[in-house]
Amino acid sequence: MSQKFKTGDIVRLKSGGPKMTVANTKTSRDIHNPIINVYCAYWDENDQTFRNTVFIEHMIELVPEKD
């Protein structure tokens, strides 16, 4: 199975939000299908804090390079 994202890619939630950097991906399985978890890091401007979080691959999209 081909993964959409690789380490270093810049992504954003499909619903919006800050730009995030892909730190890692990991594939796990539910009963029937593989699930690709994307580990992301970003700077939280509101709290002035570095954050790490995990999203399911289908929740995020690549940010165009010009953005």
Residue 1 lies in a domain: no
Instruction: Report if residue 20 sits inside a domain.
Output: yes
Quick one: pLDDT band at residue 43, thresholds 50, 70, 90?
very high
Confidence of residue 67 (pLDDT cuts 50, 70, 90): low
Asked, for residue 2, whether it belongs to a domain, the answer is no
Residue 1 scores a pLDDT above 90: no
pLDDT of residue 22 exceeding 90 = yes
Q: Give residue 30's pLDDT.
A: 80
Q: Write down the pLDDT at residue 32.
A: 84
Is 43 part of a structural domain of the chain?
yes
Judge whether residue 47 has pLDDT over 80.
Answer: yes
Residue 4 lies in a domain: no
What domain range is 27 assigned to? 10-62
* Within-domain flag for 56: yes
CB 16 within 8 A of CB 65: no
Residue 50 counted as domain residue = yes
- The answer on pLDDT for 19 being more than 90 is yes
C-beta contacts of 22-27 below 8 A and 24+ residues apart: 23/52, 25/57, 27/1, 27/3
Structural domain count of the chain = 1
